[in-house]
Structure 1
Amino acid sequence: MDTLTRDPPASASDAQAAAEGGKSDGGNPLENGDRGSTASGRTASAAAAGVRAPASAPAAAAPSPASAAATSPSARTDMPPPPTRAPWALPSISVGGAAASPLATSPSGGSAGSGSVRSVSPAAGSHFPQLARPLPGGAAITGDTHDTMSPTAAPWALGGAAPAAAAPRASAAPLRRPGGGGGGGAGRGAAPLVEAQPSMPRAAPPAAFEVPAKRISSEEDLKRFLEGGTAKDFVAFVLSLNQAVTGKALSTPVQLSRPLAALVSALDALRAWVDEIPPTQQSLRYGNPAYRTWFARMAAAAPGLMRDVLPPELHGAVVELTPYLVDSFGNATRIDYGTGHETTFAALLYCLAALGVVGDDDRVALVNVVFEKYLRLMRHIQTTYWLEPAGSHGVWGLDDYQFLPFVWGSAQLVSHPVLRPSSIHNADALEAFAGDYSYLGCVAFVKQVKKGPLFETSPMLNDVSGVPSWSKVNAGMLKMYQAEVLGKFPIMQHFLFGSILKWV
């Protein structure tokens, strides 16, 4: 395991500056968090998130209304606009009636108030409830709901619906513990975008195959898709795979059918080509042009690779399945990769099921062998050619590139006798189990590529660790995948439709 680097704690003057207006030279807190920010950057992030200074800190003299208006950041024209807050931006925290330090941390560590944690506040007007975590010793956790963004907040959070307008900081209401005080289940009040039950697609090859094409060109098109039968069938497929791997580690013995063995061999060949095509020397970290060479070789070989997967009577489907395979590995023009490309690979697996190439008995192997092989190939590509994240939330996302491993990976951990969501903060647990559970493997990879404490580099993952059970994490991840991937036009505008995955 790589040794994590930690920044020195902020000085008292930095914390006081954050409490008195967030006047710090830390820059954009999202950027700082992604790169392992300086102490002043952390102070700026805390101030931007609305974290208050300790109650014992000396209060500054109250400015007159005129002087406040003249000196406030909103009244000045020489300052850049403040960064947009993420929907799960951190609220203020108070312990025993006194506000916690701006540098209060979660179980991942930190230098401020002992036992303090960070919790999540949804966007104003969002129907997603809040996530709260109890402090050791039963200390109270309070947080305000002041926020300015409308994107989706974490759906595993508990509590009531968010207020219609931002609440004043002084009137912050106590948060309920997860699963307690009438909070309901994970994602209470947040229905999934697509209602579906776990099921595999009915094996029904079309009369004629066609080259798939993009059909979602507007928000109205996306709405049609989400309300149609194709989206329901695809979500049912994701749920079916999720159900199949619940409680099953990657090491669970499975039998590979001939088509899946051929698909695994294809992924192994693509990985070997990465080693044969080294990155070119350049000054920029991201977007190595050698990726285009690898991509061109992959695209040229893709029809033959798909033909090896399909039985002879379905070779006509090569023309339709090849674009799904090619688009699963990113975009050669932009040299980027993201959750949309990952979803395209899941769509390829759906098409194989809809053609009858794979069935119910293959579900565990589809996730724990085939998809895991694809995931590790993409990590190798990312760390070799450093593809740009496509549509990433940056520090405020689960991961720059992946989402489904957190969905199916949390299902693998349901009812585990030892591991809990908080186990991601245990270095020994990650080292021992990252190779056996996709969720822990994702966290270990994040810690490998992002240097710094997890609560800074990945606050979303850090907050999820406070959820009491893997079943609640899994339920929230399923809803969040729909909201943050299937429900986002910038991602789904590139989705492909043909005779198997039909446009509505």
Structure 2
Amino acid sequence: MEDSGNHHHHSDDHDHNHHPSSSSPPTSGTCCKCGGPTTFAPPPQTPTFTSPPPTYRPIRAPAIPPDPNSTRAIILAPVPQSQKVPILPPPHHFIAPAKRIHSPDDIVRFHSSDSSKNFLGFVVALSESIRAKKISDPCHVSPATTSLLSILQTLTLIADQTPPLPQSARYGNVSYRTWHEKMSNSAESLIQTLLPENLHPATVELAPYFADSFGNSSRIDYGTGHETNFAAWLYCLARLGVIGEEDYPAVVARVFVKYLDLMRKLQLQYCLEPAGSHGVWGLDDYHFLPFIFGSSQLIDHKYMKPKSIHNEDILENFSNEYLYLACIAFVKKVKKGVFAEHSPMLDDISGVPNWNKVNTGLLKMYKAEVLEKVPIMQHFLFGSIIKWE
């Protein structure tokens, strides 16, 4: 981040007070954060910020500020609780999963179902499994976890063998479609390496979740809906007994970290568009879950607080150990300019007093902003493992 000095100044300034900077002349201006009048001119910006650099991502629709009513509803909502994943009892009748959500009424029906509550409970359980742990901390790595890592490694190698094509368009390199086709074609055989022979028929149900975990090949985009499909795929593996609760820490610290590395590689290599971006009012253009898992890692940390994201030394030295810091570092890498302006939601969260509050707030926000949104969940699939009830 070029303007690190500005961020240190800002880290304690979460209340939108318009403090003078030592060099600001006392003339009137507008606040660079909220647009309100202030007695001080905004701090001078370096010329590099006057036009967006090439890595800046345009948003396809105007950014809509959060609805105060929905923000209030999120604050008042109960905190999602962890749940045990019930093993799917035999006899199994696996079916090709299909889309079922088409309207707000369908969303209401989904959220009143056991499937929805248990899936969200699984995400909470993953979050709790990594609480106060670093990525490098030792954890139980089962043969299933090793197979999951091997699958993601295979997809990473396919990306290495599928370089982007030269093109003038800034977003959506068509080589991604080749990568996606190779991934889809190998999905069934890759998934079968995970499953005992009696569960091989489950591939018909698992493969669609898997193939939807890495973005959309026609739109060449990726977003929180695709990320949710990856979580749903892992949830299905838990329902089948392929992974158990003893695997959860490794599922986050090894498997999900590897998935995130792959997705960042694909985002940068093929210039994937953000799918359904909220513009600056979203948490992040692409991801949500690593913020949940990462905030859990930092709960009760001795000296790292939510405002520590403004400290460049902390980001540089600890983002390899904490997912939340890695997310912030990545946002700062791909977006130039003032952090508070391109990522106001993350900036606001840095003013929350502790990581426990950040974690519970993000869990509530994930339910409301991802799992309860028709444009995202209309692509979600239901079969015999995740049932439409």
Which residue number in structure 1 is paired with residue 78 of structure 2? 191
CA distance in 2, matches of 1:339, 1:127: 19
CA distance in 2, matches of 1:235, 1:249: 23
Pairing of 1:289-438 with structure 2 (within 5 A): 289-438=174-323
CA distance in 2, matches of 1:398, 1:312: 41
Which residue number in structure 2 is paired with residue 239 of structure 1? 124
Match of 1:86 among 36, 45, 65: 65
AA at the equivalent of 2:263? M
Which residue number in structure 2 is paired with residue 269 of structure 1? 154
Structure 1 window deviating more from structure 2 (253-262 vs 443-452): it is 253-262
Match of 2:340 among 452, 455, 461: 455
Runs (5+) with no aligned partner, structure 2 = 7-20, 42-61
Cα distance change of structure 1 residues 503 and 296 upon mapping to structure 2, 3 Å threshold = same
Say whether the 8 Å CA contact 2:26–2:40 is kept in structure 1. Answer: no
Say whether the 8 Å CA contact 1:198–1:236 is kept in structure 2. Answer: yes
**How much does 1:229 deviate?**
1.1
Which residue number in structure 2 is paired with residue 51 of structure 1? 36
**How much does 1:396 deviate?**
1.6
Cα distance change of structure 1 residues 55 and 233 upon mapping to structure 2, 3 Å threshold = same
CA distance in 2, matches of 1:425, 1:347: 33
Cα distance change of structure 1 residues 486 and 15 upon mapping to structure 2, 3 Å threshold = farther
Cα distance change of structure 1 residues 503 and 14 upon mapping to structure 2, 3 Å threshold = farther
**How much does 1:85 deviate?**
4.8
Higher helix proportion? 2
Say whether the 8 Å CA contact 2:101–2:107 is kept in structure 1. Answer: yes
**How much does 1:257 deviate?**
1.1
Say whether the 8 Å CA contact 2:63–2:279 is kept in structure 1. Answer: no
For CA contacts below 8 A with separation 6 or more, give which structure has more relative contact order: 2
Say whether the 8 Å CA contact 2:292–2:363 is kept in structure 1. Answer: yes
CA distance in 1, matches of 2:40, 2:182: 62
CA distance in 1, matches of 2:124, 2:70: 25
Cα distance change of structure 1 residues 15 and 404 upon mapping to structure 2, 3 Å threshold = farther
Which residue number in structure 1 is paired with residue 85 of structure 2? 201
Which residue number in structure 1 is paired with residue 13 of structure 2? none
Cα distance change of structure 1 residues 55 and 437 upon mapping to structure 2, 3 Å threshold = closer
Pairing of 1:252-267 with structure 2 (within 5 A): 252-267=137-152
Q: Alignment length, in residue pairs?
A: 353
Which residue number in structure 1 is paired with residue 387 of structure 2? 502
Runs (5+) with no aligned partner, structure 1 = 19-42, 57-82, 88-122, 129-151, 156-186
CA distance in 1, matches of 2:379, 2:262: 22
Flag as ranges the 4+ runs of structure 1 deviating above 3 A. Answer: 2-7, 9-16, 123-127
Which residue number in structure 2 is paired with residue 481 of structure 1? 366
Say whether the 8 Å CA contact 1:337–1:390 is kept in structure 2. Answer: yes
CA distance in 1, matches of 2:331, 2:39: 32
CA deviation profile, 1:295-321 (whole Å, cap 9, x unmatched): 000000010000001111211111110
AA at the equivalent of 2:140? Q
AA at the equivalent of 2:146? A
AA at the equivalent of 1:197? Q
Cα distance change of structure 1 residues 302 and 84 upon mapping to structure 2, 3 Å threshold = closer
**How much does 1:399 deviate?**
0.8
CA distance in 2, matches of 1:212, 1:409: 31
AA at the equivalent of 1:255? H
Q: Which has the larger radius of gyration?
A: 1
TM-score (norm: length of structure 1): 0.67
CA deviation profile, 1:107-134 (whole Å, cap 9, x unmatched): xxxxxxxxxxxxxxxx444462xxxxxx
CA distance in 2, matches of 1:446, 1:311: 40
AA at the equivalent of 2:260? L
Match of 1:222 among 79, 82, 107: 107
SS class of match (2:277): coil
Cα distance change of structure 1 residues 14 and 488 upon mapping to structure 2, 3 Å threshold = farther
Give the RMSD, CA atoms, in angstroms.
Answer: 2.3
SS class of match (1:440): helix
CA deviation profile, 1:182-232 (whole Å, cap 9, x unmatched): xxxxx3x3335xxx5312311124521111111101111111001111101
AA at the equivalent of 2:78? A
**How much does 1:255 deviate?**
2.2
Say whether the 8 Å CA contact 1:5–1:452 is kept in structure 2. Answer: no
